[in-house]
Structure 1
Amino acid sequence: MTYRYILFYKPYGVLSQFTKDTPTQSTLKNFIEIPDVYPVGRLDWDSEGLLLLTNNGQLQHRLSNPRFGHERTYWVQVERIPDAAALTQLQQGVTIQDYRTRPTLVQLLPTEPSLPERDPPIRFRKNVPTAWLEMTLTEGKNRQVRRMTAAVGFPTLRLVRISIAQLNLNKLQPGQWRELTSSELQLLVNLAFAGGRRLKK
């Protein structure tokens, strides 16, 4: 069996699955015509950015299992300008529902990051400023980033995952995908199986 490792820039409004729940929904099938690959983790339909897909079930399990937490970094546009207290709360962990998040790397970006325009764009409100955060998590609870920023009073307007471990968007545009390079794959193998069994490539 030949294993495939795909990096995909998921656009806004696309489900992280190949099957449709309704006839009008866009799914991965609209962009990727490779049989039997599946996403490692997921991005919500209203989130954008990097998605890793593979047909290697061993790697998929290792990276998806919360016990093997790996870094995922997001650029997050929020409503209003977070103050130091809110940033500290996010960094130390916040309670969402009945769960307290792990410590998170968070910084306020000095300028808006260079990203493709979202389609459709976020709702513009002249009297409400926005800011961009860079957040790095090692866990992936359901809608976690959105719930974290809402918990400290700064709702998320736009969410873009820019990296998974050492993998990043680079020159990919929304809707585009590419295969991992051999060096990228080796780094991913080292991360996923550090101190454990080696992955069959």
Structure 2
Amino acid sequence: MHQHFKIYKPYGYLSQFINNGQKQHRKKLLGELGEFPEGTMSIGRLDEKSEGLLLLTTDGKMSDFVNSSKVDKEYYAQVDGDITEAAIKALQNGVEIGLNGTKYTTKPCPAFKLDEVPNLPERWKKLRDERHGPTSWVSIILNEGKFRQVRKMTSAVGFPTLRLVRVRVGTIYLDDLQPGDSMQLLDIKKELNLDA
């Protein structure tokens, strides 16, 4: 019987359970955050400096399905500066980013400026504060997952990302999980509103 979990991946952790033989001078791995069944893998990835919702499973087919473009993923990005309507419009329409040495135009996607600072746990590694200029928060919903895509998108419109938190995968939300917390999902298909 396969098992599935949701976890709040903290800042500074890699989205993997084993060190794939790389000389990664003592990087932090997901397995340090709890007891998970043998064969558990993350569904998709968040880079080391990103945080938030990560789904875990022992079912490779489920991982492939969720990673396909059928499932939306929502990110909250704190950006450097007070993001403009023009920048939001550009994010919505698709922007050109670099990908493996070539240019790529992102697909049109929902994006909007958040009216209020989202209620997220403080990050253990402090960000710069308002004395260094204003920041703002945006929501970006993607159903593609290119390497460091959100960061590249906000940079492309002139507002580099300072903090990036994934808050939703499909219909599964981060809710009030704290960094490092995990919770078992009894029926991931039902949670994601997927047909059996």
TM-score clears 0.5: yes
1:85 counterpart SS class: helix
How large is the RMSD of aligned CA atoms in angstroms? Answer: 1.5
Which one of 182, 186, 192 corresponds to residue 188 of structure 1? 192
Listed as ranges, the matches of 1:1-150 within 5 Å are: 2-20=1-19, 21=22, 22-34=24-36, 35-65=38-68, 68-97=69-98, 98-124=103-129, 126-150=131-155
Aligned-pair distance for 1:38?
Answer: 0.3
Q: Give the C-alpha shift of residue 23 in structure 1.
A: 4.5
Counterpart pick for 1:178 among 175, 179, 183: 183
Q: Which whole-Å deviations, capped at 9, do the CAs of 1:85-113 have from their partners, x for residues lacking one?
A: 11100000001021110111111111111
Distance in 2 (CA, whole Å) between partners of 1:96 and 1:38 is 29
Task: Give deviations 1:133-185, integer Å, cap 9, x for gaps.
Answer: 11111111000000000000000000000000000111211100011143x53
Contact 2:76/2:164, CA 8 A, preserved across alignment: yes
Residue of structure 2 equivalent to 1:154: 159
Equivalents in 1 of 2:88, 2:15: separation in Å?
A: 29
Counterpart residue identity of residue 7, structure 2: F
How many percent of aligned residue pairs carry the same amino acid?
Answer: 40
For residues 9-35 of structure 1, what are the alpha-carbon distances to aligned partners after superposition, in whole Å with 9 as ceiling and x for unaligned? 000000001123434211101113221
Query: Gapped runs of 5+ residues in structure 1?
Result: none
The code of the aligned residue for 1:186 comes to K
CA shift, 1:186, in A, is 1.6
Deviation at 1:187, TM superposition (A): 4.2
